[in-house]
Amino acid sequence: MLRLIFLLVSLASNLVLGQGPDPAVQKACTLFKQKVFEERVAISFLFPNAPITWETLDSCHGSRPLIVDGDPAESKEFPHAARLGHRNEKNETKWFCGGTLISNRLVLTAAHCFYTEFGAVNVVRLGELWFDTDEDDAEPEDFGVLRSIEHPEFKEPALYNDIAMVRLDRAVNFSLYKHPACLPFDDGEIHDKFIAIGWGQKALAQAESKKLLKVELRNYHQRCLVTTEKNEDLPEGFNATSQMCIGSPDSKDTCNGDSGGPVLVYHKDFPCMQHVIGVTSTGISCDTPDVPSVYTRVNHYLKWIKAEMAKVT
C-alpha cells in the first residue's frame, strides 16, 4: 500500500513537471516583456544628499482586445509579426510567407517557405502594419537573412516537421513596434481559441491584403484525424503529436493566415504578450465550415528551437 502511494505521488509530480512551462522559455518571455514594457525611473528628493530610489513603471496592462474576425490588426498589437520574401537583383521584392520574431535574431516560420517558386527567403520585414503606405502607425524595417535553418526531419513535399527559422543579419532593437512573441508554455490543447494573423494569403502568394488581419479560430483537437485525407502533403495523415488541428465553425473568412505565420494565445499574466503555439502549414480552406486546417505544433519542437537559439551569439 505504501509503495503504491509512493508510486502515485512520484507519478503525479512527474506529470506536473512534464506539463509545466519550460523554465528557460518562461524566463526569456519575462525578459522580453520587461525590456519593452518596464522602465526604471529614479526618484530623488528635493533636499541635498537625499537617497535616490527606483521605481518600475510597467506599461503592460489593459484588457485584451476583442477579436472581430478578419478585422485589421491595430498598431503594435502583433509586434512579432514578420513577413518573409525574396528580393531580386533589380531590388524588386516578392513577399510570400509569414513568420514570428522569437528572439532578437530569429524568426520562426514554416520549412516549406524555403521551397517555393519565388526563390530563397532573403528579406524579412518587421514592424509593419499596412503594406504600401506610410499613413499607418508602424515602424517597418527590412532585415537581410544570414542563415536559413529548416528542421532536419522536414522532407518536402511532405509537410511533417514543417518548421524553420531564419537568422537575421543584425539584431532587432526591441520597441513597442518590434519585439518577440513568447514560445509556448504548453502544447496548446488546453486552449479552445486561437488568434491567427497574416497579410491575407490563402495559399502561397495569392491575392493578398495590404493590411495585417486577425481572425479568431477554434481548436478542433483530434478532428483532423478524420477530416484530413492522406495525400502528397500528409502521406501518413494528420499527426496529432507534431501537428495541431485548428479551424472555424462558420464559413467566415479563415484565409487570413500566411503560410509560416503564427497562431497565438495570450500570456496568462501579461496581456501585452502572446505565445506562438502553432505555425500555419498546409493550405487553409476558406469557404468550408468545420473543415479545420493543419498547423505545426511549436511545443513539440521546443528542444530543437532552444538548441538553435543557444548557437546564436
Ligand X SMILES: *[C@@H]1O[C@H](CO)[C@@H](O)[C@H](O)[C@H]1NC(C)=O
Catalytically annotated residues: 112, 162, 259
Q: Output the smallest distance, CB 161 to ligand X, in A.
A: 7
98 CB-near residues (< 8 Å, 6+ apart): 81, 82, 83, 84, 109, 197, 198, 199, 257, 258, 259, 260, 261, 262, 280
3-class secondary structure per residue, 84-134: EEEECCCCCEEEEEEEEECCCCEEEECHHHHCCCCCCCCEEEECCCECCCC
**124 or 255: CB nearest ligand X:** 124
Read off φ and ψ for residue 52, nearest 5 degrees.
-100, 125
Q: Output the smallest distance, CB 122 to ligand X, in A.
A: 12
**151 or 214: CB nearest ligand X:** 151
C-alpha cell at 136: 499607418
* Largest separation between any pair of C-alpha atoms in the chain: 77
**173 or 288: CB nearest ligand X:** 173
**Helix (H) and strand (E) counts in the chain:** 4, 15
**67 or 101: CB nearest ligand X:** 101
**266 or 304: CB nearest ligand X:** 304
Q: Is residue 182 within 8 Å of residue 275, measured between CB atoms?
A: yes
The residues binding ligand X (CB under 6 A) are 91, 170, 173, 236, 239, 241-242
Nearest to 42 by CA among 26, 64, 58, 57: 57
Q: Output the smallest distance, CB 238 to ligand X, in A.
A: 9
Q: Output the smallest distance, CB 286 to ligand X, in A.
A: 27
C-alpha cell at 12: 503525479
Q: Output the smallest distance, CB 80 to ligand X, in A.
A: 16
